[in-house]
Structure 1
Amino acid sequence: MAEQVVQQRGGAATVHAVAAFRASLAAVDVEAMDDHERVALVAELERVKGAASAAQARATDALRRSREVLTPQDAARSVGSEVALARRESPTLGDRYVGLARALVHEMPCTMTALTDGTISERAALEVVRETATLSTQDRAEVDRRLGPDLHRLSWRTAGRAAARVAAELDAASVVRRMEAAVRSRRVSVRPAPDGMAYLTVLGPLREVVGAYAALTRRARSVVGGQDVDEATAGRGVGAVAADTALALLSGRAVGQVQPVEIQLVMTDRALLGTGDEGRSVHEPARVPGHGSVPAPVARSWVHGAGPASVWLRRLYTGPDGRDLVAMDSRRRTFLGGLRRVLVLRDDVCSTPFCDAPIVHVDHAHPARAGGATSVWNGNGRCARCNHVKEAPGWRVTVVRGSPHETETRTPTGHTYRGLAPPLLGWGSTTPATGGAAAAEESALERRIDWLFVSAA
């Protein structure tokens, strides 16, 4: 027992020492250095990041092994989610890091040594591990042995390509099986991009995707070159014509037809119509739930471009400060209809800190089986992964306050993380101050923000 206490104190001392080193970096006086020293500092700090990644990997793998002894049935998913919270990233990336740590610690000593020395980055180590994922332990060790002496010379991309080349040489069959498995995972995904744009990604077999791209480019060049009598360039370049063609074909729209898909916008009546609270700006951005903010002029153009027969306005009522939706309760066991819609609007993305995945499940923070209410206060929007993980032993989600809605996630190791619902119009938006006699006259349903469904009739 005494030895265990000493080990615990030693572990805590290590954590404090690392925290002290991190804090000391803020005191580095770069103004007192010459340019040679500044570049040397940048290089050394890059090595520190690699060494820190190696220490993280060792700690992560030790956590995985410890948890597998205690709760083997829940270890993989639970550890991945807990590591993701600690690293401030999504659960998917947490799972990937747990796998990386296991391979580095137990199967790839040369790569681990290079990472510990800080001569390669975590990204380079990840690429080597990823490209050897389907190999046997012996073949992976051989890749590690061959690349080890040269890793410090390679960029992360080149390191990955080199690992893939050696893997194909050692076990071509496993590489082929991996490619066949990848074909089965083909899919289409969408994610937000800067400046009101979005990425539509088609993951498919190389030859088919390249062929589709070639066909799009060929047609776009034909339009831009004036060889297509059915479509004018209208000042567009090859890339813009190719994108317009792909989106029109995928959505089934004819030229000039309004997009027949419902788009949900959250914006103030002031920004849309110029009416309402004169204290708010007509330029206050709108928000597309799950995708972020768009400038008010762009949102107005979307609404106006859809045509009056295609637009529905639904009023959302908020509390006196204009930040959060007013509570809406339900007697149902599950979150359906308007209640689910309110929660998706409120949380925007998965409410687990740093996850940012789209909301799939709306469920109870305090479980319904334990008497948890089906209410806005007790409801949480989560991705499927996080909703399942919170049911594993040692996990607990608690609602800290209702407005703004804040939850606390407690992990099996006792760490806690706070998650806060964004303002209704998104992070960075402001709410006008209220008070005095005017506030006393206003009811709890004082402010209104319009939620617009924009779709083709």
Structure 2
Amino acid sequence: MSTSALDWADQLSHLLDTAPSAEALAAEEDAALIDLITATERANGRLAAAQARAEAAFWDAQLREQERQGVPRGQRGRGIADQVALARRITPKQASDEVALHRVLLGSLPRTSELLEAGEISEYAARRIAENVLVLEEEDRARVDVDLADQLPSVTARRAGDLARARAQELDADAAVRRHQRAVADRRVSLQPAVDGMSILRATLPVKDGVAVLKVLTEAARSAKATGDPRTKGQIMADTLTASACGLESPDDIPVEIQLLMTDMTLLADEEATAWIEGHPLPGRVARDLALGVPTLPPPAHVAADAPAPPPEISSAARWIRRLYADAKVGDLTEVDGRRRLFRGQVRRFILLRDQRCRTPWCDAPIHDIDHAHRFADGGSTDADNGIGHCQRFNLVKEMPGWESTVDPASDDRPHRLTIRTPTGHIYQSTSPLLRHLLDGEDGARAEILADEPVDLDDASDPSRRSSPTTVDDGDRPSDPEGLSEARTG
């Protein structure tokens, strides 16, 4: 930032510090509150324009700096959006997309940019316009910008995007086809956490594929209902999708080899501490049923809520326990030793379970590579303290000039901590996720991870038969999910 930019940022911060409190607003006239809402909405657009200009200027400056440093042409640009992501506390993918759109907005859509800077349109509207002209040539982008300028202040953000897409299709039909092809290439499946121990599995598919999948599931539900299946249509469709994708007869047959984390007391002594499965919180009682193979299902509609529960049916699906215990005070997993250059076996399993997702702050992508925070070539050790799980993107970014990583091992009062220093000298930190939040007086609590070792279901309910805190050996047991690979950039 230049001195003037720093001064402006400081002034903005001081201005926001003087924002009226809830008590002060409660004493205002209704008309004044509407005026404030209008003013802040316009300010949001103007701030978004200022942020877009800063991101574009930062991109250009970093490209020049990488060229000066002798970074190969094919690698120039790597790590720039990642610095923006850290500054904005968003994912690197989001930052990459937004920087690209901001460059189009500022470079090709001057009238739209002016409306955003004036607070006449929202940042979302400007983004929708930019993404719909992205595949056009510069001249056609300018024509869309001119044609829509007068309409934009009076339409919704969604409508603004629709108008831009329609005009783009008229100007270049080939671009519309390329946009469709790009969307098809970007088809994907994602998982998001939902409330009450549920998740949202989302598939972004070509329209014909989506229609076909829904038709198959609908037909399965209709057929099952015709034979007297008591489940609802939605339940049948969900169960059919899960069983088909997993190649099983029923979702209850899914083996628990999906990194279910819970305390030994939750498993064996009816404690209600929250468990975690692939980063998703799960009620302790539900996790216990899942671990022991007891389906957690609501009673059929014809059964009274207060009726005695029938004996639970134990699922035949495989169940495993891996015994890796957590630090007694902070709930962070304890160290497992390893002395190789590559992270394999127990050490690799341990880091995957400890970190759960990419440890880059605000990234949250799946772990793809496990590498040394302190480089192996510089004397870094291949152990759990120095090992860090990262997504593939950041594992490449941290090899760029100016990036540094250091770690602080777990201690009695805090979990494992990663510190990242960017080329601009900014510092960001992340800590390994805790397996539990301890309450006062729980100094002796410990956590374990369900995954790998057979459970004797006949004895699992007896707290006196809990296993000792040992580590699992590296044998021919179920492999880690997704076939995650070690980083070799050291």
The alignment's TM-score, normalised by the length of structure 2, stands at: 0.81
* Residues 235-290 of structure 1: CA deviation (Å, up to 9, x unaligned): 42x22222222222222222576124622211111111108xxxxxx11110113x
Residue equivalent to 2:284? 296
For 1:35, the equivalent position in structure 2 comes to 30
Determine whether 1:204 maps to 2:193.
Answer: no
Provide closer, same or farther for how the CA distance between residues 349 and 239 of structure 1 changes in structure 2, counting only shifts above 3 A.
Answer: same
Q: Structure 1 residues 32, 168: closer, same or farther in 2, change over 3 A? A: same
* 1:278 matched residue in structure 2: none
**Compared CA separation, residues 50 and 395, structure 1 to 2 (3 A):** same
In the superposition, relative to structure 1, how do residues 405 and 385 fare at CA in structure 2: closer, same or farther (>3 Å)? same
Distance 1:135 1:157, change over 3 A: same
1:57-136 correspondence runs (5 A): 57-72=52-67, 73=73, 74-136=75-137
Contact (CA 8 Å) 1:315, 1:449: kept in 2 or not? no
1:16 aligns with 2:7: no
Residues in 2 aligned to 1:8 and 1:153: alpha-carbon distance in whole angstroms: 36
1:191 to partner: Cα distance: 3.3
**Map of 1:367 onto structure 2:** 375
Q: Equivalent residue of 1:333, what SS?
A: coil
Partner of 1:188: 189
**Structure 1 unaligned spans of 5+:** 1-6, 276-281, 436-445
**Structure 1: how far apart are the matches of 2:138 and 2:12?**
33
Once the two structures are TM-superposed, the CA of residue 302 in structure 1 deviates from its matched residue by 1.2
User: Which residue of the partner structure matches residue 49 of structure 2?
Assistant: 54
The whole-number CA distance in structure 2 between the counterparts of 1:66 and 1:419 is: 27
Task: Provide the residue aligned with 2:305 in structure 1.
Answer: none
CA distance in 2, matches of 1:382, 1:178: 31
Helix, strand or coil at the partner of 1:350: coil
Structure 1 contact 310–454 (Cα < 8 Å) conserved: no
Distance 1:318 1:363 in 2: 22
Change (3 A) 1:318 1:219: closer
Separation (CA, whole Å) in 2 of partners of 1:185 and 1:254: 31
Deviation string, structure 1 residues 175-220 (Cα, Å, up to 9, x no partner)? 1122123323333333333322223233322112112213322432
Deviation of residue 24 (structure 1)?
2.0
- Answering whether residue 318 of structure 2 is matched by residue 310 of structure 1, we say yes
How many residue pairs match? The answer is 425
Aligned to 1:242: 237
| CA distance, structure 1, for counterparts of residue 84 and residue 252 of structure 2 | 47
* Aligned mates of 2:28, 2:317 — CA distance in 1: 66
For 2:142 and 2:229, locate their aligned partners in 1 and report how far apart those are by CA, in whole Å: 55
**Which residue is equivalent to 1:157?**
158
Match of 2:229 in 1: 233
Instruction: State the identity %.
Output: 37
Change (3 A) 1:302 1:183: same
Counterpart contact for 2:321–2:453, Cα < 8 Å: no
Structure 1 contact 310–455 (Cα < 8 Å) conserved = no
Give TM-score scaled by structure 1 length.
0.87
Corresponding position of 1:333: 341
| Residue 452 (str. 1) matches residue 450 (str. 2) | yes
1:440 alignment partner in structure 2: none
Give the SS at the match of 2:201: strand
SS of residue paired to 2:451: strand
Shift of the 149–319 alpha-carbon distance from structure 1 to 2, 3 Å rule, reads same
In 1, Cα distance between equivalents of 2:209 and 2:100: 31
Question: For the structure 1 residues 378 and 454, does the alpha-carbon distance in structure 2 shift closer, same or farther, using more than 3 Å as the test?
Answer: closer
Structure 2, unaligned runs of 5 or more: 68-72, 295-314, 455-477, 479-490
Q: Which residue of 1 aligns with 2:435?
A: 424
**Cα distance in structure 1, aligned partners of 2:111 and 2:417:** 45
Give the conservation status (yes or no) of the 8 Å contact 2:239–2:250.
no
Deviates more, 1:320-329 or 1:26-35: 26-35
Please report how far the alpha carbon of residue 123 of structure 1 lies from its aligned counterpart in structure 2 after TM superposition. 1.5
Q: Whose helix proportion is higher, 1 or 2?
A: 1
Specify the alignment match of 1:439 in structure 2: none
Contact 1:315 1:448 in 2 (8 A): no
Within 5 Å, which residues of 2 pair with 1:244-263? 244-255=239-250, 258-260=253-255, 262-263=257-258
Structure 2: how far apart are the matches of 1:177 and 1:153? 30
Query: Is the contact made by 1:89 and 1:354 (CA closer than 8 Å) also made in structure 2?
Result: yes
Q: Matches of 1:246 and 1:309 in 2, distance apart?
A: 18
Matched with 1:353 is 361
Q: 1:318 to 1:455 in 2, by over 3 A?
A: closer
The 1:40/1:79 distance shift into structure 2, 3 A limit, reads same
Among residues 272, 275, 279, which one is paired with 1:286 in the alignment? 275
Distance 1:130 1:247 in 2: 34
Aligned counterpart, 2:405: 397
> CA 1:447/1:16 → structure 2, altered by over 3 Å: closer, same or farther?
same
What letter is aligned with 1:78? G
Could you tell which deviates more after superposition, 81-90 or 255-264? 255-264
Give the CA deviation at 1:447: 5.2
The Cα shift of 1:319 comes to: 2.4
Cα distance, 1:431 vs structure 2? 5.0
Most deviating of 172-181 and 18-27: 18-27
Indicate the RMSD between aligned Cα atoms, in angstroms: 2.4
1:136 Cα deviation (Å)?
0.5
- Report if aligned partners of 1:264, 1:454 keep a CA contact under 8 Å in 2: no
Are residues 242 and 60 of structure 1, via their aligned partners in 2, closer, same or farther at CA, if it must alter by over 3 Å? same
Letter in 1 for 2:149: G
Q: Hey, what's the Cα distance between the residues in 1 that align with 2:127 and 2:389?
A: 31
Name the SS for the 2:60 alignment partner. helix
Matched to 1:344, the amino acid is: L
Could you tell me which amino acid in structure 1 is paired with residue 3 of structure 2? R
Corresponding position: 1:266 with 2:254: no
1: CA distance, partners of 2:15 / 2:64? 33
1:256 and 1:92, CA in 2 relative to 1: closer, same or farther beyond 3 A? closer
1:253 corresponds to which letter in structure 2?
L
